[in-house]
């Protein structure tokens, strides 16, 4: 079992205080957006044996187990994060596995450098993800029903939004959503900036259901993503609740602190709320234009005290233990690799005492006993 020393990424949208508060450290005044736990080459966790990438590369079967290596290859298939959103993240979607492989191979054939700003596919993997709230957490997830989106836009009283309102009344609903998103993202930039400014002013005045979009517009004035965001469900998670974000589902995190886990990939296609590249044709190929409830997840408890967030993929499995009192010992030994993350209290994982924000990597089969008082998230895989 290895104690992890993890990198904090200073993305501009990060909260300057949420992660320091969790860790019990002084804020630096700079944004602290994400703390990465895992073996992603961009910022691998460090151990006394070297980086987690080096540790796994030296003996994948010993660290990950034969079944995990056979199923996912000689790499840790998930990345665990603490995410602290102080401002909205970009509105985005992720490809499925077939789309990622196809897109990656196409860009490789065309000789687009992996670090090029207009490159869409950094790897050939998909990127399903799960976010679990540690504090109240606001986000956008999946399309509203077109009639609900039409009512929201119409309520702003902005004349230049009327054509979108009319389109949203068309049938079938998937085509209506596609038409409107396409129109918003391909509109004349100057005209759209005026529309967004007028919509933002109305959102400020109206408040209520419009308040989240007023906040988004404050951070991204004139961005067409502000209008695109109004096509999506607004979700407010309470601590312990989670969202699963599968392929093709448009989403954005707006504010709050959470534990995020994802397949080990960098593939993102952006819809707006960003100065970065937006590839509209490729985006429209990936997005699933299916309205529906975003589906808030709550953990399912097992007799041994493990609370599992069920998802339909195998690259990761997230669960938590809420330990109400010292003295009880939970045996977490598994035949799969694990990362254990403390988010509250003080707990002991094997020989390591963990405070909030501290974590350990547990190689396959290593004895892993958990005790203490607090909350621990457990990340592993399904083989």
- List pLDDT tens digits, range 131-150: 999 999 999 999 999 999 99
Catalytic residue among 75, 270, 317, 378: 270
Cα-to-chain-centroid distance, residue 302: 26
The pLDDT of 13-25, averaged and rounded, is: 97
Report yes or no: 224 and 182 within 8 Å, Cβ to Cβ: no
The pLDDT of 13-30, averaged and rounded, is: 97
- In 3D space, the residue among 46, 18, 54, 51 whose CA is nearest the CA of residue 34 turns out to be 18
Q: Annotated catalytic, 75?
A: no
- Rounded Cα distance, 368 and 350, in Å: 5
- In 3D space, the residue among 312, 273, 302, 326 whose CA is nearest the CA of residue 378 turns out to be 302
- Rounded Cα distance, 122 and 267, in Å: 6
HSE-CB at 13 with a 13 A cutoff on CA atoms is 22
- Rounded Cα distance, 376 and 383, in Å: 22
* DSSP string over 224-272: THHHHHTTEEEEEEPTT-EEEE-TT--EEEEEEEEEEEEES----EEEE
Mean pLDDT of the chain: 95
pLDDT-based confidence at residue 275 (cuts at 50, 70, 90): confident
pLDDT-based confidence at residue 326 (cuts at 50, 70, 90): confident
DSSP β-bridge partners for residue 301: 307
Cis before 253? omega within 30: no
- Rounded Cα distance, 72 and 184, in Å: 39
User: Does 327 score more than 80 pLDDT?
Assistant: no
- Rounded Cα distance, 112 and 118, in Å: 8
pLDDT of residue 324: 86
pLDDT of residue 134: 98
HSE-CB at 253 with a 13 A cutoff on CA atoms is 29
User: Does 265 score more than 90 pLDDT?
Assistant: no
pLDDT of residue 219: 95
- Rounded Cα distance, 299 and 276, in Å: 35
φ, ψ of residue 292 to 5 degrees: the values are 170, 175
pLDDT (tens digit per residue) in 52-94? 999 999 999 999 999 999 999 999 999 999 999 999 999 999 9
The pLDDT of 331-340, averaged and rounded, is: 96
DSSP β-bridge partners for residue 80: 37, 261
The pLDDT of 269-275, averaged and rounded, is: 91
pLDDT-based confidence at residue 195 (cuts at 50, 70, 90): very high
Report yes or no: 352 and 1 within 8 Å, Cβ to Cβ: yes
pTM for this predicted structure: 0.94
Report percent pLDDT > 90 for the chain: 93
pLDDT (tens digit per residue) in 344-376? 999 999 999 999 999 999 999 999 999 999 999
User: Does 48 score more than 90 pLDDT?
Assistant: yes
User: Does 328 score more than 90 pLDDT?
Assistant: no
The pLDDT of 309-313, averaged and rounded, is: 95
pLDDT-based confidence at residue 266 (cuts at 50, 70, 90): confident
């Amino acid at each position: 079992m290895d104690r992890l020393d993890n990198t904090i990424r200073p993305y501009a949208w990060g909260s300057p205080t949420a992660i320091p508060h969790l860790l019990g450290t002084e804020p630096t005044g700079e944004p602290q957006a994400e703390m990465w736990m895992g073996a992603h080459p961009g910022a691998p966790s460090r151990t006394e044996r070297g980086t987690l990438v080096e540790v796994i590369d030296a003996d994948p079967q010993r660290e990950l187990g034969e079944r995990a290596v056979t199923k996912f290859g000689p790499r840790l298939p998930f990345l665990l994060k603490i995410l602290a959103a102080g401002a909205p993240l970009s509105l985005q979607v992720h490809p499925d596995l077939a789309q990622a492989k196809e897109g990656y191979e196409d860009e490789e054939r065309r000789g687009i450098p992996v670090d090029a700003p207009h490159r869409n596919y950094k790897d050939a993997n998909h990127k399903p993800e799960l976010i679990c709230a540690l504090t109240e957490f606001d986000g956008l997830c999946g399309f509203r029903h077109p009639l609900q989106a039409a009512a929201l836009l119409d309520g702003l009283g902005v004349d230049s939004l009327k054509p979108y309102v009319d389109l949203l009344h068309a049938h079938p609903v998937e085509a209506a959503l596609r038409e409107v998103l396409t129109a918003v993202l391909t509109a004349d930039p100057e005209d759209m900036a005026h529309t967004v400014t007028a919509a933002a002013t109305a959102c400020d005045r109206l408040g209520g259901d419009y308040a989240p979009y007023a906040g988004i517009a404050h951070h991204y004035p004139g961005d067409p993503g502000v209008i695109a965001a109004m096509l999506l469900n607004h979700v407010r998670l309470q601590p312990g609740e989670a969202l699963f974000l599968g392929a093709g589902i448009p989403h954005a995190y707006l504010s709050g602190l959470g534990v995020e886990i994802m397949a080990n990939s960098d593939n993102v296609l952006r819809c707006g709320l960003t100065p970065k590249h937006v590839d509209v044709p490729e985006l429209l190929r990936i997005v699933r234009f299916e309205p529906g409830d975003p589906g808030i997840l709550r953990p399912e408890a097992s007799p041994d005290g493990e609370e599992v967030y069920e998802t339909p993929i195998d690259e990761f499995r997230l669960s938590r233990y809420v330990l109400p009192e010292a003295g009880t010992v939970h045996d977490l030994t598994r035949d799969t690799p694990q990362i254990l993350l403390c988010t509250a209290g003080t707990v002991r994982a094997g020989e390591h005492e963990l405070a909030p924000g501290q974590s350990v990597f547990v190689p396959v089969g290593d004895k892993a006993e958990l005790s203490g008082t607090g909350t621990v998230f457990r990340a592993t895989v399904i083989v």
